[in-house]
C-alpha cells in the first residue's frame, strides 16, 4: 500500500505541475492586460509583418509577427512585441487576422496605433486586448490536469490506514473493515455527490468555454452555421451547473441525515429496515419513497471503452411510514430481502477503495478487480422549496436477521400505501377505453417522450457533426461514421416516441394487439385466450430518475411454437411492484383467470 501511494503521488505531480503552469500563465496574462490599460497610445509604423505557419504531422499553428518603429517624447524606438500572449496557436483566427493587419500596414506604410509604457518607453505593444479564448484554453489545463493532480494528492494524504482483512474480527464481521460501517448509523453520499457534481461541472465548462468565442467568429465572419451544433456542449455545461446548485441547496437544507439501520447490518434472507430523522416539518400528506437495490458494479465488456457500469440485480420500492420526529419528520421503512442475493463488498465501498475508483490501470500501478456488489438505499420525496433525493451505500450480509424495533402496525400502513401507489402508477400508464369489441387497453404515442427526446437529440447531434465534417471539412469517412451512428439512434428513439399499442379481446374470445407508428398499424398479433398458459414480466431497460436507477418492465405472453417471440400486453412499468399491479389490471380487463399467473422472465 505504501509503494502504491508513493507511485501514485509521483504520478500526480506532473499533472499538478501542468496545472500550476497554467495558473501562472493565466495570472501573468491578466496582470499584463490590467497594467497595459494605463499605457499611452502612440502612432507606430510597421516595417514588416505577417504570420508564421508551423506545421507538423498532428496540427498547424500560426503566430503573428511584426517589426515597427514609434516616437515617444521626441525619441524614436523600435519593437517587435505585437500581443500579450506571444505564442503560436490555432485557437480561432486571431493570429492570421493580426498578421494580415500588420502585413497590410507595412505594405501601405500607414501608421497604426500602439501602446507604450510611460515608465519604460522601450516597452510597447500593438494589440493589448486579452484573448478570452486563450484564457479559456489554458483554463482547461488548470482544471483538468491541475485539478486531477490536486484531487489525487488530497485522496492519498487523507486516506485512512489500510486494515488487515485477514484478522478474525473482519472474517466474522466483514462490514467492520469499512470505516463508515462501524455502527448502525450510516451517512449518505450526498456531500461527496455534491463535490463531484461541482467538480465535473467546472471541468466540463472549462473544456467547452472556448467554443463560445469561436462560435461568434465562425458565424459572423465565416457564415458557418454548421458550427451551431457545438452549442450542445455549453448547454450541457449549463445543465451541470444547475444540477450542482440543486445538490448544494439540498445539502444546505437537510445536512447529513443518517439512516439508522435495524437490523445492523441489513440482512439477506431477513430484513433491511431503519429510520431517518429528517429536518423538515411533518405533514401527513407527504409521501417518502424508499428504494432498496442490490447492484452489480462492473467494467463494461467493450475493450475500447472500459467504463464502470451498474446492473440492478434485485430491487424493491416502498412508501415509508412517517410520523412527527425529533427534528421534524421521522421516516420508517422495512424490506423483506430474499435469499441468494450478493452481500456488500466492504472494501470496495470503503475509503480504501478510492485507489480502485480512480481507474488508474493505465499507469500500470494498480491491477485491482473493479467488479463488485453493493447495496444502495434511496430516499426521495417532493417537498416545498427543495426536494429530497438521497443515496446511502449500506452494509447488507446473509445474517437472516429481522428488525427488532420497527412496529408491525407501522409497516402495515406502509404496505397499504405502497400497494395503492403501485396500483395508481400502473393505472396511469394503462388507458382503458371503450372500443368496438368492448374494453380495450391503450398505451398512447408519446408515453416515453422524455427519454425519446433526449435520445433523438443525441442522434441529431451525431448527424449534425457528421454533416459538418463531411460537407464543411470534407472529412467524408470520419463524418460518415458519425452519421452512421446518428441515424439508428435517431430512428430508434423516434420509434419509441411515436409508437402506440392497443390490446383487446375480440368477439371470438381471442387476445389481439395492434402496434402503430404515427397512428398507422405496422404489426398485429392474435392468440386464443385458452392458449395463454402464463403472463410474464421481463426487464426491458433501466431509467435514471434523479439519483435513483429503476428497472423498466414489459408484460407479455410467450408464443409457443414461435421461438422466443412474445405478445406484448403492456410496457413501460417501473419496478416489479408496479408491474405486478399492471398484471392484475390486465387480467381483469382481458378476463384472464388467476391461474394464468404472472411470472418473471
- Residue pair 48/66 in contact (Cβ under 8 Å)? The answer is yes
Going by C-alpha positions, the residue among 248, 276, 293 that lies closest to residue 186 is 276
What whole-number distance in Å separates Cα of residue 257 and Cα of residue 278? 6
- Residue pair 494/452 in contact (Cβ under 8 Å)? The answer is yes
Cα maximum dimension of the chain: 108
- Residue pair 268/339 in contact (Cβ under 8 Å)? The answer is yes
- Three-state secondary structure call for residue 261: strand
Cell of 29: 496574462
What whole-number distance in Å separates Cα of residue 395 and Cα of residue 128? 60
Kindly give, in sequence order, each residue whose CB lies less than 8 Å from that of residue 56, ignoring residues fewer than 6 positions away: none
Strand order across the 289-299 sheet:
308-319, 289-299, 372-381, 388-394
Provide DSSP, 438-503. EEEEEE-TTTTHHHHHHHHHHHHHHHHHHHIIIIIS--HHHHHHHHHHHHHHHHHHHHHHHEEEEE
What whole-number distance in Å separates Cα of residue 423 and Cα of residue 120? 81
Cell of 207: 473544456
- Residue pair 482/466 in contact (Cβ under 8 Å)? The answer is yes
Backbone angles phi, psi at 270, to 5 degrees: -140, -120
Q: Which residues pair with 62 in a beta bridge?
A: 53, 89
Low-confidence ranges of the chain (pLDDT < 50): 303-304, 351-368, 596-601
- Residue pair 312/294 in contact (Cβ under 8 Å)? The answer is yes
Q: What is the per-residue pLDDT across 260-312, written as a single tens digit (0 to 9) for each? A: 999 999 999 999 999 999 999 999 889 999 999 999 988 765 544 556 788 89
Going by C-alpha positions, the residue among 193, 202, 199 that lies closest to residue 237 is 202
Residues across the chain: 601
- Three-state secondary structure call for residue 410: helix
For 109, counting Cβ atoms within 10 Å of its Cβ (0-12 exposed, 13-18 middle, 19+ buried), the class is: exposed
Give the count of alpha carbons within 13 A of 569, CB side only: 30
What whole-number distance in Å separates Cα of residue 364 and Cα of residue 366? 6
Provide DSSP, 90-140. -STTHHHHHHHHHHHHHHHT--EEEEEETTEEEEEESB----HHHHHHHHH
Helix H segments across 162-231? 168-172, 190-222
What whole-number distance in Å separates Cα of residue 433 and Cα of residue 459? 35
Alpha carbon distances (Å) from 104 to 51, 81, 99, 115: 12, 17, 9, 19
- Three-state secondary structure call for residue 53: strand
Cell of 448: 416515453
Percentages helix, strand, coil for the chain (3-state, rounded to 5) are 40, 30, 25
pLDDT value of position 216:
66
Ramachandran category for residue 335: left, alpha or beta (phi over 0 → left; psi -120 to 50 → alpha): beta
pLDDT value of position 183:
95
Give the count of alpha carbons within 13 A of 78, CB side only: 4
pLDDT value of position 99:
94
Cell of 367: 491491477
What whole-number distance in Å separates Cα of residue 400 and Cα of residue 339? 9
Alpha-carbon dihedral 165, 166, 167, 170, rounded to 10 degrees: 50
What whole-number distance in Å separates Cα of residue 465 and Cα of residue 459? 10
Q: Which residues pair with 527 in a beta bridge?
A: 511
Element (H, E) at 590: helix 575-590
Going by C-alpha positions, the residue among 310, 272, 274 that lies closest to residue 292 is 272
Going by C-alpha positions, the residue among 275, 254, 257, 143 that lies closest to residue 209 is 143
pLDDT value of position 73:
93
pLDDT value of position 367:
39
- Residue pair 586/440 in contact (Cβ under 8 Å)? The answer is no
- Residue pair 158/326 in contact (Cβ under 8 Å)? The answer is no
- Grid look-up 500581443 returns 83
What whole-number distance in Å separates Cα of residue 143 and Cα of residue 155? 17
Q: What is the per-residue pLDDT across 445-468, written as a single tens digit (0 to 9) for each? A: 988 888 899 899 889 888 888 887
Amino acid at each position: 500500500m505504501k509503494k502504491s501511494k508513493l507511485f501514485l503521488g509521483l504520478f500526480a505531480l506532473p499533472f499538478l505541475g501542468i496545472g500550476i503552469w497554467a495558473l501562472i500563465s493565466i495570472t501573468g496574462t491578466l496582470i499584463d492586460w490590467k497594467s497595459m490599460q494605463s499605457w499611452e497610445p502612440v502612432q507606430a509604423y510597421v516595417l514588416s509583418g505577417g504570420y508564421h505557419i508551423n506545421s507538423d504531422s498532428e496540427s498547424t499553428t500560426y503566430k503573428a509577427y511584426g517589426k515597427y518603429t514609434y516616437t515617444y517624447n521626441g525619441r524614436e524606438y523600435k519593437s517587435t512585441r505585437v500581443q500579450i500572449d506571444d505564442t503560436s496557436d490555432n485557437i480561432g483566427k486571431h493570429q492570421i487576422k493580426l498578421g494580415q493587419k500588420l502585413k497590410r500596414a507595412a505594405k501601405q506604410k500607414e501608421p497604426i496605433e500602439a501602446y507604450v509604457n510611460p515608465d519604460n518607453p522601450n516597452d510597447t505593444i500593438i494589440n493589448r486586448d486579452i484573448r478570452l479564448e486563450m484564457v479559456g484554453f489554458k483554463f482547461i489545463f488548470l482544471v483538468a490536469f491541475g485539478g486531477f493532480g490536486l484531487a489525487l494528492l488530497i485522496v492519498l494524504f487523507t486516506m485512512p490506514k489500510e486494515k488487515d482483512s485477514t484478522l478474525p474480527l473482519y472474517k466474522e464481521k466483514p462490514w467492520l473493515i469499512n470505516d463508515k460501517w462501524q455502527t448502525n448509523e450510516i451517512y449518505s453520499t450526498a456531500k461527496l455527490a455534491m463535490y463531484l457534481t461541482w467538480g465535473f461541472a467546472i471541468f466540463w465548462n472549462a473544456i467547452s468555454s472556448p467554443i463560445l468565442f469561436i462560435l461568434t467568429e465562425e458565424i459572423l465572419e465565416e457564415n458557418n452555421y454548421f458550427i451551431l451544433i457545438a452549442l450542445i456542449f455549453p448547454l450541457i455545461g449549463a445543465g451541470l451547473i444547475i444540477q450542482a446548485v440543486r445538490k448544494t441547496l439540498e445539502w444546505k437544507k437537510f445536512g447529513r441525515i443518517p439512516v439508522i439501520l435495524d437490523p445492523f447490518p441489513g440482512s439477506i434472507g431477513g430484513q433491511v429496515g431503519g429510520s431517518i430523522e429528517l429536518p423538515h416539518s411533518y405533514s401527513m400528506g407527504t409521501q417518502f419513497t424508499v428504494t432498496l437495490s442490490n447492484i452489480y458494479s462492473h467494467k463494461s465488456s467493450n475493450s475500447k471503452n472500459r467504463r464502470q457500469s451498474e446492473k440492478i440485480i434485485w430491487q424493491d420500492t416502498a412508501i415509508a411510514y412517517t410520523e412527527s420526529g425529533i427534528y421534524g419528520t421521522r421516516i420508517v421503512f422495512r424490506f423483506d430481502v430474499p435469499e441468494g442475493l450478493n452481500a456488500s463488498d466492504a472494501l470496495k465501498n470503503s475509503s480504501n477503495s478510492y485507489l480502485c475508483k480512480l481507474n488508474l490501470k493505465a499507469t500500470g500501478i494498480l491491477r485491482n478487480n473493479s467488479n463488485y456488489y453493493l447495496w444502495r438505499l434511496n430516499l426521495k420525496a417532493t417537498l416545498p422549496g427543495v426536494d429530497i433525493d438521497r443515496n446511502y451505500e449500506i452494509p447488507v450480509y446473509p445474517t437472516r436477521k429481522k428488525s427488532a424495533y420497527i412496529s408491525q402496525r407501522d409497516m402495515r400502513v406502509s404496505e397499504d400505501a405502497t400497494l395503492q401507489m403501485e396500483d395508481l402508477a400502473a393505472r396511469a400508464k394503462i388507458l382503458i377505453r371503450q372500443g368496438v369489441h368492448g374494453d380495450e387497453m391503450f398505451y398512447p404515442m408519446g408515453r416515453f417522450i422524455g427519454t425519446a427526446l433526449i435520445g433523438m437529440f443525441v442522434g441529431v447531434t451525431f448527424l449534425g457533426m457528421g454533416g459538418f465534417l463531411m460537407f464543411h471539412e470534407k472529412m467524408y469517412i470520419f463524418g460518415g461514421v458519425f452519421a452512421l451512428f446518428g441515424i439508428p439512434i435517431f430512428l430508434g428513439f423516434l420509434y419509441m416516441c411515436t409508437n402506440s399499442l392497443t390490446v383487446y379481446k375480440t368477439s371470438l374470445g381471442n387476445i389481439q394487439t395492434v402496434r402503430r407508428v404515427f397512428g398507422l398499424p405496422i404489426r398485429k398479433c392474435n392468440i386464443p385466450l385458452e392458449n395463454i398458459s402464463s403472463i410474464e414480466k421481463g426487464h426491458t431497460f433501466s431509467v435514471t430518475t434523479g439519483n435513483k436507477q429503476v428497472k423498466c418492465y414489459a408484460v407479455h405472453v410467450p408464443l409457443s411454437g414461435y421461438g422466443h417471440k412474445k405478445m406484448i400486453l403492456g410496457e413501460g412499468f417501473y419496478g416489479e411492484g408496479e408491474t405486478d399491479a399492471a398484471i392484475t389490471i390486465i387480467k381483469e380487463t382481458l378476463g384472464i383467470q388467476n391461474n394464468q399467473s404472472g411470472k418473471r422472465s
